[in-house]
Amino acid sequence: MATIKVGDTIPEATFTYVPHSPELEDSAACGIPVALKTDEWKGKKVVLFAVPGAFTPTCHANHLPPYIAKYDEFKAKGVDVIAVIAANDPFVMSGWARFVGLKDKILALSDTSADWSKSIGLSLDLTARGLGIRTARYALIIDDLKVTYVGTEDGPGVTASGADAVLAAL
């Protein structure tokens, strides 16, 4: 059950990610993870969506692709940053980002051990399926560090956390 709600200020966090660079066009390159602090989003409109795992079926085939396809629509609505987070390490997130061609459009952030997602009541225990603790499937619209939309999924599939629902809420 989500503990974060509309009107809340997001808790501080430091995510890691591998920024896009031309060197990463070489599949043997790994890049160097850097930190991104949520306070860098002060004064910005951010769409943050979470997936249980990079390369997992629903996340890879149904959740991420519409965000990529509708990138320009998000930008037209004044979104400064679009980011996807998962409990995967930053190298896996970078590999996924490179595989789907995110480049520098959508940030692929690592929420290590789903710690930040746990802090807002949106982690998911998939230990019984061999996947451990993961980020739940959700989306937030954050404006100047304040939450203006929370879309969570109660079951399988992508609805409230999907690109169309988030675009409608902007």
Residue 101, SS3? coil
Asked if the structure places residue 66 within a domain, the reply is yes
Tokens of 129: 């399926």
Number of domains observed in the structure of the chain: 1
Tell me if 121 is assigned to some domain: yes
End-to-end CA distance of the chain: 23
Domain that holds residue 40: 14-169
Tokens for 6? 């509309």
pLDDT in 10s for each residue of the chain, 170 residues: 689 999 999 999 999 999 999 898 888 888 999 999 999 999 999 999 999 988 887 787 789 999 999 999 999 999 999 999 999 999 999 999 999 999 989 999 999 889 999 999 998 878 777 676 888 999 999 999 999 999 999 888 899 999 999 999 99
The CATH number assigned to the domain holding 39 equals 3.40.30.10
pTM: 0.93
Residue positions annotated with a catalytic role: 59
Residue 1 lies in a domain: no
- Count of H-run helices and E-run strands, the chain: 6, 9
- CA triplet 77, 146, 68: central angle to 5 degrees? 40
